[in-house]
C-alpha cells in the first residue's frame, strides 16, 4: 500500500526525513522550504539517515542536500525532491 506525506509548510530536519520515507509527498507550491538544517547546526547525519535520502533522490540532489544544506524553495516546480503539487479526485458515485 503506497503512503502519502502531506506537507503544509516548512519541512526541516526530521520532518523532511519522515516525509522522504513515504512513497509520495504533496506540498503547497506557494509556501514552505525543505532543508536539512542539522548540517547548519554542525550535527552530522548517521548512515541510516543518509540512506533514506540516497534511495529517494538523485546523486546531485543528494550532494546539495547532505553536503551543502541547500534550502529548497517550493515556490517553483521542483522535482528534485519528488514533490507532487496537485492531485485530483474523481468522484464515481
Q: From CA 73, how far away is CA 4, in angstroms rounded?
A: 20
The Cα 82–Cα 93 span in angstroms is 31
Adjacent-strand bridge partners of 31: none
Enumerate domains of the chain plus CATH numbers.
Answer: 4-75 (3.90.226.10)
Q: Three cell numbers at 21?
A: 520515507
pTM over 0.85: no
* Number of neighbours of residue 74 by Cβ within 10 angstroms: 21
pLDDT in tens, 30-89: 778 888 888 888 888 888 888 988 888 888 888 888 888 888 877 544 566 666 655 544
Amino acid at each position: 500500500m503506497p503512503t502519502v506525506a502531506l506537507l503544509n509548510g516548512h519541512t526541516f530536519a526530521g520532518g523532511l526525513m519522515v516525509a522522504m520515507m513515504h512513497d509520495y509527498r504533496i506540498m503547497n507550491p506557494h509556501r514552505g522550504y525543505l532543508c536539512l538544517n542539522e548540517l547548519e547546526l554542525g550535527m552530522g547525519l548517521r548512515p541510516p539517515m543518509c540512506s533514506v535520502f540516497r534511495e529517494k533522490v538523485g546523486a546531485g540532489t543528494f550532494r546539495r542536500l547532505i553536503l551543502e544544506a541547500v534550502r529548497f524553495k517550493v515556490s517553483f516546480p521542483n522535482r528534485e525532491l519528488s514533490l507532487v503539487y496537485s492531485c485530483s479526485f474523481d468522484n464515481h458515485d
